[in-house]
Amino acid sequence: MIERLPELVNRDPAIVRWGRHMNETFLLEVGEQQYLVTVRQGLISSIEKGPFAMRSWRFAIRAAKECWERHWESPPGPGWHDLFALLRRGEVAFEGDLRVLMAYLLYLKLVLAAPRKA
């Protein structure tokens, strides 16, 4: 599902507009699988599949595979619909430079909800 994010996000001008100033690489962890997502001006320019040792990223969003699957249901159930709902449930962890994560929070929420359209 993560491999389809560039297609799902880059073709949606509303999502791209929210991230138009973002130029960062972040780590997304789905269970044991790691992905480095590189964003350039709101477009997802690359996704690299890990595992990674000593790779640079600004922040990380980590959750179990089952958690992401429930988050990507269409529509998701109560408590599975939003990153902060997942955080409140203890299902997701944020690490790294949280100032960047918060600066682009709406963009990241839209990006991570994009698989619901697939």
Class of domain 2-112: alpha beta
Domain ranges of the chain: 2-112
Query: How far is it, in rounded angstroms, from Cα 71 to Cα 73?
Result: 6
Percent of the chain with pLDDT over 70: 100
Supply φ then ψ for residue 64, to 5 degrees: -70, 155
Distance of CA 36 to the CA centre of its chain: 10
Q: Dihedral of the CA atoms 69, 96, 5, 33 (nearest 10)? A: -50
pLDDT digits (tens, 9 = 90+) for 2-29: 999 999 999 999 999 999 999 999 999 9
Written as tens digits, the pLDDT of the chain (118 aa) is: 899 999 999 999 999 999 999 999 999 999 999 999 999 999 999 999 988 888 999 999 999 999 999 999 989 989 899 999 999 999 999 999 999 999 999 999 999 999 998 7
Q: In what order do the strands lie in the sheet with 33-40?
A: 43-49, 33-40, 23-30, 59-63, 92-96
